[in-house]
């Protein structure tokens, strides 16, 4: 029997969110995560781990015209020392060039549809990555910032405008949209922010608290153990700028990564060392491809960044990478939304899920960003 567990996604207000947007605490009623693969069944020979195997589902149904063209695969991963990169933390890994198109078999592994399960409304969000277009009504309040993002020299002006009244109002609209994507009953947002950055020209963009680049990593804002990673909050990221940006990721959920690492070490128990798993996986399986997923201006992704090895990337174009991001419990908008029958069905399902969640245990505080 499934247990119902609640968490709090504390709302870190960079803006004043109207009270009508809903509760500030998100509750989680998660079905148990799927059993990890039996380590004995896994292909642990690094030579066999050079093509994609099924893992997370990539959902590009909302952007059919850009489907396969939006995806490239790396030749594996590479230690930043071997790549001659500076500015990275020790034992960091980045995608190894060249990029290539996925084979037909890899494309199927990456995008194979998953059967909808009973109680899908409360299914953990950690099993898929979605890309979709954002309504113009959400993008329009950021238009004046987007125009400035053509020139790197405008960075400080953009940052000042983000903090100004118009920027904060635009942020409210983006936060309101984010909440419209939340699972029923999970309307809390963590760390909604509009962020401007000049692409550093490195293979990945995330920096740690010490200012050094982290390389491929797994987020740990919620400090979940391995068992809870699939049902941790996911991330919404909207490309507000004028240039493509990219989500880099290994298409395996963290439990699967742990299973492969355990098998390679000749162990049957999965070590819960979420921080060490990305670099250990890269060290053991240097030929396993990293997926490079293009997010065009006006597009967004939803990804389980607590459950997948990932980073961001933007080319050095002379412009500024501009995005909105926040964490919560999000799912892609229904591509058939607007039809009366779909709306009625979704409303009915939300009502049932909400009733289940309301009987859950008390919430516990989440670890907030520093």
Choose the stretch contacting Fe ion; rule: CB under 5 A; options: 46-54, 80-88, 183-191, 300-308: 300-308
Q: Which stretch binds Fe ion (CB under 5 A): 135-143, 175-183, 264-272, 299-307?
A: 299-307
Segment contacting Fe ion by CB under 5 A, of 25-33, 214-222, 252-260, 342-350: 214-222
Closest approach, Cβ 126 to Fe ion, in A, equals 14
Backbone angles phi, psi at 42, to 5 degrees: -90, 145
Taking the complex as a whole, the smallest distance from the CB of residue 305 to Fe ion amounts, in Å, to: 5
Instruction: Please identify, using beta-carbon distances, which residue of 55 and 185 lies nearer to Fe ion.
Output: 55
- Beta carbon of residue 267, minimum distance to Fe ion (angstroms, whole number): 27
Taking contact as CB under 5 A, which single stretch among the options 80-88, 216-224, 261-269, 313-321 is the one that binds Fe ion?
A: 216-224
Q: 91 or 356: whose CB is closer to Fe ion?
A: 91
CA distance 110 to 283: 22
* Residue 221 vs 329, nearer CB to Fe ion: 221
Core vs surface per residue 10-49: b (16+ CB within 10 A) or e: bbeebbebeeebbeebbbbbbbebeebbebeebebeeeeb
Nearer to Fe ion, 92 or 305 (CB): 305
Give min distance, CB of 250 to Fe ion, in A. Answer: 13
Q: How far is the CB of 181 from Fe ion (least distance, A)?
A: 19
CB of 82 to Fe ion, least distance (A): 22
Q: Which of residues 264-293 bind Fe ion (CB under 5 A)?
A: none
Q: Which two tokens stand for residue 312?
A: 């961001």
User: Nearer Cβ to Fe ion, position 121 or 219?
Assistant: 219
11-50: which residues touch Fe ion (CB under 5 A)?
none
When the beta carbons of 163 and 369 are compared against Fe ion, the nearer one is: 369
**Closest CB to Fe ion among 177 and 249?**
249
Residue of the chain from 59, 127, 219, 306 that contacts Fe ion (CB under 5 A): 219
Q: What is the pairing mode between strands 57-59 and 128-133?
A: parallel
Q: How far is the CB of 219 from Fe ion (least distance, A)?
A: 4
Q: What is the binding site for Fe ion (CB under 5 A)?
A: 219, 305
């Amino acid at each position: 029997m499934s247990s119902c567990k609640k968490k709090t996604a504390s709302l870190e207000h960079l803006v004043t969110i109207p009270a009508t947007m809903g509760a500030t605490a998100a509750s989680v009623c998660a079905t148990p995560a799927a059993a990890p693969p039996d380590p004995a069944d896994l292909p642990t020979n690094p030579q066999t781990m050079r093509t994609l195997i099924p893992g997370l589902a990539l959902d590009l149904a909302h952007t059919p015209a850009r489907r396969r063209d939006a995806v490239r695969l790396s030749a594996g991963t590479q230690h930043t020392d071997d790549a001659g990169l500076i500015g990275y933390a020790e034992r960091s890994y980045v995608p190894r060039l060249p990029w290539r198109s996925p084979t037909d078999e890899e494309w199927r592994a990456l995008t194979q549809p998953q059967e909808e399960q009973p109680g899908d409304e409360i299914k953990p969000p950690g099993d898929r990555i979605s890309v979709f277009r954002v309504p113009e009504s959400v993008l329009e309040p950021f238009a004046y910032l987007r125009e400035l993002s053509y020139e790197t020299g405008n960075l400080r002006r953009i940052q000042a405008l983000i903090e100004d009244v118009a920027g904060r109002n635009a942020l409210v609209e983006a936060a309101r949209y984010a909440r419209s994507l939340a699972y029923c009953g999970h309307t809390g947002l963590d760390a909604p922010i509009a962020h401007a950055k000049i692409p550093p020209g490195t293979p990945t963009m995330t920096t740690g608290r010490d200012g050094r680049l982290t390389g491929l990593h797994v987020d740990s804002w919620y400090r979940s153990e391995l068992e809870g990673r699939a049902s941790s909050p996911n991330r919404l990221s909207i490309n507000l700028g004028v240039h493509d940006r990219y989500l880099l990721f290994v298409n395996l959920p963290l439990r699967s990564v742990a299973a492969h690492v355990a098998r390679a070490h000749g162990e049957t128990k999965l070590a819960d060392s979420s921080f060490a798993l990305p670099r250990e996986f890269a060290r053991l399986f240097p030929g396993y491809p990293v997926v490079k997923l293009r997010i065009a201006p006006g597009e967004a992704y939803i990804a389980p960044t607590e459950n997948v090895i990932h980073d961001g990337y933007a080319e050095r174009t002379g412009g500024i990478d501009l995005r909105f991001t926040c964490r919560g419990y999000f799912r892609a908008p229904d591509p058939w939304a607007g039809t009366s029958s779909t709306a009625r069905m979704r409303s009915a399902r939300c009502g049932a899920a909400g009733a289940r969640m309301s009987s859950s245990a008390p919430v516990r505080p989440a670890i907030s960003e520093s």
